[in-house]
């Protein structure tokens, strides 16, 4: 069973995908982490302004998920980079990977391969229901008001001891939305056949319950933990 969750930054995708995957007892794939890892590598190699080299390295890098962990651990060339991936310095440059058509081609290929290997997956990103898994069993599109998404981002940053200002974060979120939607290849887009969930006034449990209700109707035999 493949379940895709797409939506903008701060819409609650990651937390919902993780909780849904745990309830269904299947792996969760954080595709944003893959773009972040390619950008982190470009940052470390000082090749941020060289799209050809970023694409070349992307094909040679080893991006491996350890699905025995929940959330799955992403190993970049066998190195645990989980703490680095969400640092603002990496978030700011992730567009060098996300906007690069060759990087997208390679990561889309790897994501489909992971889908084949795992068989079942809750996968979240911007293009999962549109490009990567157009034939997915269930597609959800999450969204929330920008102010609420900014507040959630601040809470995440503060939990890591990173101070943040509402107006700055809101500004970044609006700019990232525009960049994600305007991307020539693999833009943030709502799949035509996705179910919309506005999470602005929903708790995480309510969001996941709404998804489970849909899965139960179409696949009543699914085990839910
Ligand atoms: O979901 P996230 O914030 O970790 O994503 C990081 C960046 O990667 C974000 O700017 C959009 C991009 N991304 C993408 O282009 N396609 C995906 N499938 C996932 C993320």
Per residue in 86-111, pLDDT (tens digit) is: 888 999 999 999 999 999 999 999 99
Please tell me the predicted confidence (pLDDT) of residue 6.
98
Nearest residue CA, atom 1 of ligand 1? 32
Q: Please name every residue paired with 76 in a beta bridge, in sequence order, or none if there are none.
A: 63, 79
Closest approach atom of ligand 1 to CA 183: 15
Angle at 98 between CA 25 and CA 77, to 5 degrees: 65
pLDDT surpasses 90 at 125: yes
Please tell me the predicted confidence (pLDDT) of residue 212.
97
Q: How far apart are CA 139 and CA 194, in angstroms?
A: 5
Q: Is 130 in the pocket of ligand 1 (CB under 6 A)?
A: no
Q: Is 133 in the pocket of ligand 1 (CB under 6 A)?
A: no
| Å from CA of 91 to ligand 1 middle | 9
Please tell me the predicted confidence (pLDDT) of residue 104.
98
Nearest residue CA, atom 6 of ligand 1? 32
Which has the higher per-residue pLDDT, 122 or 225?
122
Q: How far apart are CA 104 and CA 109, in angstroms?
A: 8
Per residue in 2-44, pLDDT (tens digit) is: 999 999 988 999 999 999 999 999 999 999 999 999 999 999 9
Reported for 157-166, long-range contacts at CB under 8 A and 24+ positions apart, including other chains, are 157/88, 160/86, 162/88
Q: Which CATH superfamily is domain 2-211 in?
A: P-loop containing nucleotide triphosphate hydrolases (3.40.50.300)
Per residue in 162-184, pLDDT (tens digit) is: 889 999 999 999 999 999 999 99
Please tell me the predicted confidence (pLDDT) of residue 157.
85
Q: Is 83 helix (H, G, I), strand (E, B) or coil?
A: helix
Q: Is 176 in the pocket of ligand 1 (CB under 6 A)?
A: yes
Which has the higher per-residue pLDDT, 157 or 77?
77
Please tell me the predicted confidence (pLDDT) of residue 61.
97
Q: Is 104 in the pocket of ligand 1 (CB under 6 A)?
A: no
Does the reported pTM lie above 0.85? Answer: yes
Closest approach atom of ligand 1 to CA 6: 18
Nearest residue CA, atom 13 of ligand 1? 32
CA 97 to chain centre: 14
Please tell me the predicted confidence (pLDDT) of residue 64.
97
* pLDDT, average across residues 113-126: 98
Q: How far apart are CA 89 and CA 112, in angstroms?
A: 29
């Amino acid at each position: 069973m493949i379940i895709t969750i797409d939506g903008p930054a701060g819409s609650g995708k990651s937390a919902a995908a993780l909780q849904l995957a745990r309830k269904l007892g299947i792996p969760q794939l954080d595709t944003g982490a893959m773009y972040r890892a390619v950008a982190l590598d470009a940052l470390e190699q000082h090749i941020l302004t060289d799209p050809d080299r970023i694409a070349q390295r992307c094909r040679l890098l080893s991006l491996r998920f350890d699905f025995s962990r929940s959330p799955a651990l992403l190993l970049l060339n066998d190195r645990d980079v989980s703490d680095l991936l969400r640092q603002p310095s990496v978030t700011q440059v992730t567009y060098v990977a996300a906007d690069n058509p060759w990087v997208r081609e390679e990561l889309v290929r790897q994501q489909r391969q992971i889908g084949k290997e795992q068989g079942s997956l809750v996968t979240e990103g911007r293009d999962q229901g549109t490009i990567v898994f157009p034939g997915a069993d269930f597609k959800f599109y999450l969204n929330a008001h920008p102010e609420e998404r900014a507040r959630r981002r601040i809470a995440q940053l503060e939990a890591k001891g990173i101070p943040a200002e509402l107006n700055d974060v809101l500004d970044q979120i609006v700019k990232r939305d525009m960049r994600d939607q305007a991307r020539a290849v693999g833009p943030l887009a709502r799949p035509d056949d996705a179910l919309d969930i506005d999470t602005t006034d929903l708790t995480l449990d309510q969001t996941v319950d709404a998804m489970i209700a849909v899965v139960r109707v179409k696949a009543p035999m699914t085990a839910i933990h």
